[in-house]
Amino acid sequence: MDMTLQDPLVGQLLDGRYRVQARIAAGGMATVYQAVDTRLDRLLALKVMHPTLATDAAFVDRFIREAKSVARLSHPNVVGVFDQGTDGTYVYLAMEYVAGCTLRDVLRERGALQPRAALDILEPILAALGAAHRAGLVHRDMKPENVLIGDDGRVKVADFGLVRAVDTNTTASTGSVLGTVSYLAPEQMEHGTADARVDVYACGVVLYEMLTGGKPHTGGSVAQILYQHLHEDVLPPSGLVPGLAPQLDELVALATARDPQQRPQDAVALLSRAQETRAQLTDAQLDVVPPQAKEVPEGGLGDGSERTDVIPRPEGVQPPLPGTDEAELNRTSRLEVPPTEQTTRLRPVPAPAASAAPRGGLLQRHRLATIIAAVLLLLGAGTGVWYINAGQFTTVPAVLDMSQAKAEKTLRDEGLGVKVVRGFSSNVDRGHVMKTDPANGKQIRGTGTVTITVSRGPDIVAVPDLSGTPVADAKRKLRDLGLIPGTEKRAFSAEVARGSVIGTDPAAGSKRRPDTAVALTISRGAEVKAPGVLGSERADAAETLRAAGLKVRFADEPVHSTQDKGTVARQTPAEGKKLGKGETVTLTLSKGPEMVPVPDVTGKNEEDAKKQLTDLGFQVEVDKPFLFPQDEVDSQSVEAGQKAPKGGTITIKMKGAL
């Protein structure tokens, strides 16, 4: 059944301005329509909140504030917000209309993507989120449904601010957290907290899904998935995609670390890591073809679209039980944040009255006591055997000040498990072990686990002065201090050599926490305006450009042009464009004009004659008599049947009455 025909808003004029044309999609929080702005005659998308939310004055106030914040977020990879308002019971957002599909549609059709395609989609997502994070906004509901891919290939992130507005309202009143269960970070479930790192986690899950065609945590119920998010690490995607590069496993593991302190601090930092990962991969690794996504077992989550909605969360996440309705799974869940733990007082159970005890009860109690004693004896014997055979003690080896990799190897060589946590230290180098639990020399039973605390370096780091430093060296210096090379922009500089750093943001000397992204401004060299060399001989053109401080490259194949054979036909960048000294100008040589047979246009009217000639690539000039011109060609400057240069000019002379 066509739901559009039943929707009362279709065909209506909302707020005296927006004509609703069709219903596009519906979710747990809002319905999206295609509409026309009748004032600007512009096609747009109209997101209308559900009436249950629109009647809440506190929600509407917060929603308006968030909409204004998002409207100020101008970025090519963010779906733009044009307007917001109310009309009776309707609260709406007027947004940019993106013709295309969602990432969910792509995954549903293709199952899994090659690494190159996955990174091509991930990077603009992170660029959009990075701009939001710098503006103090957190998306909180990143998922494939909120990634739009336009018909022109551009990637845009939707629903900025909506999730935050809803979350702000309902958390205050119910102590719950909004988010799609498959993409929620552990801290959102456990504590109800959300900063930029929850978007980083969700992007890691989205990357995993693009690479493998499935979600990392699946199950037959919300509780099962919540339990996995809290207690299980995301497995390497290479386990499902043979030949997938280990660098991609590392990128997924970094973004989906259960401890938010171990994730990049925001999308800008993760974008930098993603770009570094791409640079490390060969073409063969980028073009690995994954197997088609496997069918989801019956009762699993499946690949269907996931809705943003509100459902209760249990006070504690217990090991999962089967039997939850599948419809509950394909929704973005609002999870109840557990209250502060309280001590529960148990009321003692009164002993039964003596007269109520049945005859023989004492004998039964004696038998029960005997059974319990036997069970305890067996358990004690079994425990003793375990202590004697498998429970031998191991001395924790000394790993302080070792690198993390060396420490892990040392402990595992002793048969011990390793758990890694991170902390700040001004005395221990970043990436080296600052503490162990149990401590060095202590006894640990069997194959127990040793927790090592790895230094993140000082908790406050001064941004170094990188002026004049080659970009590769600058990035290495930042990483050595625990900082992350961030976005790069290019600028002209007569003082700083091409390819070296002009400055940083934050500026040199600024105090920042480790894992902060530092943007780099890189020199293009001194500014040079490209001289024009069209029509010049090859040697002359090269000499002119080199004299201006530019490099020259000649295209492999010449082209037809109006320029003489052997001279320059094309120049890229064009004359007058601003370049950095030492940059390259590409020149394409001419192989002369293409000669085209000239048709006979005498006797034709002016319009038909011009069209026939211009369709063949000629320029046309018209010569009309001063008195009484007629609309008929009398003669042409090049006779019919002769060849003329394509792009050249042919003059047609019109008849006169005299």
DSSP class per residue in 141-210? ---GGGEEEETTS-EEE--TTHHHHHHHHHHHHH-EEEEEGGG--HHHHHH----HHHHHHHHHHHHHHH
Of the candidates 628, 543, 556, the one whose C-alpha atom is nearest the C-alpha of residue 588 is: 556
Of the candidates 532, 534, 537, 586, the one whose C-alpha atom is nearest the C-alpha of residue 562 is: 534
Q: What's the pLDDT score for residue 318?
A: 38
* Superfamily per CATH, domain 100-293+304-320+330-336: Transferase(Phosphotransferase) domain 1 (1.10.510.10)
From 15, 83, 141, 429, the catalytic residue: 141
269: helix, strand or coil: helix
551-554 and 584-589 beta bridge pairing: parallel
More confidently predicted of 317 and 201:
201
**pLDDT at 216 > cutoff 70:** yes
Residue 36: count of CB within 10 angstroms of its CB:
18
Residue 56: count of CB within 10 angstroms of its CB:
16
pLDDT digits (tens, 9 = 90+) for 381-421: 343 333 333 345 788 899 998 999 999 999 998 888 899 98
Q: What's the pLDDT score for residue 161?
A: 54
135: helix, strand or coil: coil
**Mean per-residue pLDDT for 366-386?**
38
Q: What's the pLDDT score for residue 30?
A: 81
Least confident window among 75-89, 230-244, 435-449, 630-644? 435-449
Residue 419's identity, in one-letter code, is K
**Mean per-residue pLDDT for 602-612?**
95
More confidently predicted of 39 and 221:
39
Query: Is 141 a residue of the active site?
Result: yes
Cβ partners under 8 Å of residue 204, min gap 6:
234, 251, 252, 254, 255, 256, 263
More confidently predicted of 210 and 227:
210
Q: What's the pLDDT score for residue 422?
A: 84
619: helix, strand or coil: strand
**Mean per-residue pLDDT for 230-238?**
88
**pLDDT at 469 > cutoff 90:** yes
Q: What's the pLDDT score for residue 295?
A: 40
Q: What's the pLDDT score for residue 65?
A: 72
Class of domain 595-656: alpha beta
Residue 646: count of CB within 10 angstroms of its CB:
16
Give domain 3-96's CATH architecture.
Answer: 2-Layer Sandwich (3.30)
CA distance 208 to 244: 12
Q: What's the pLDDT score for residue 224?
A: 79
Kindly state the percentage of the chain with pLDDT values over 90. Answer: 50
Residue 631: count of CB within 10 angstroms of its CB:
13
Q: Does domain 527-589 have CATH number 1.10.3720.10?
A: no
**Residue-range domain boundaries for the chain:** 3-96, 100-293+304-320+330-336, 396-455, 461-523, 527-589, 595-656
Q: What's the pLDDT score for residue 443?
A: 82
pLDDT digits (tens, 9 = 90+) for 163-195: 554 444 444 334 444 567 888 998 888 777 789
Least confident window among 220-234, 478-492, 615-629? 220-234
pLDDT digits (tens, 9 = 90+) for 46-98: 999 888 877 777 777 777 776 777 787 889 999 988 998 889 889 999 999 99
Kindly state the percentage of the chain with pLDDT values over 70. Answer: 80
Name the band, by pLDDT with cuts 50, 70 and 90, for residue 320.
Answer: very low
Q: Does domain 461-523 have CATH number 3.90.660.10?
A: no
Name the band, by pLDDT with cuts 50, 70 and 90, for residue 4.
Answer: very low
Name the band, by pLDDT with cuts 50, 70 and 90, for residue 25.
Answer: confident
More confidently predicted of 361 and 634:
634
pLDDT digits (tens, 9 = 90+) for 534-553: 999 999 999 999 999 999 99
pLDDT digits (tens, 9 = 90+) for 108-138: 988 899 999 999 999 999 999 999 998 888 9
Cα 150 to chain centroid, rounded: 15
CA distance 112 to 241: 10
Q: What's the pLDDT score for residue 535?
A: 93
Q: What's the pLDDT score for residue 104?
A: 92
**Mean per-residue pLDDT for 130-147?**
90
Dig out the tokens for 506 from the structure.
């934050």
Fold: same for 461-523 and 595-656: yes
Cβ partners under 8 Å of residue 545, min gap 6:
530, 531, 533, 551, 552, 585, 587
Q: What's the pLDDT score for residue 17?
A: 95
Q: What's the pLDDT score for residue 162?
A: 54
**Mean per-residue pLDDT for 249-275?**
94
* CATH number listed for the domain at residues 396-455: 3.30.10.20
**pLDDT at 232 > cutoff 80:** yes
**Mean per-residue pLDDT for 200-221?**
91
Q: What's the pLDDT score for residue 385?
A: 35
Burial of residue 286, with CB atoms counted within 10 A of its CB: 0-12 exposed, 13-18 middle, 19 or more buried:
middle
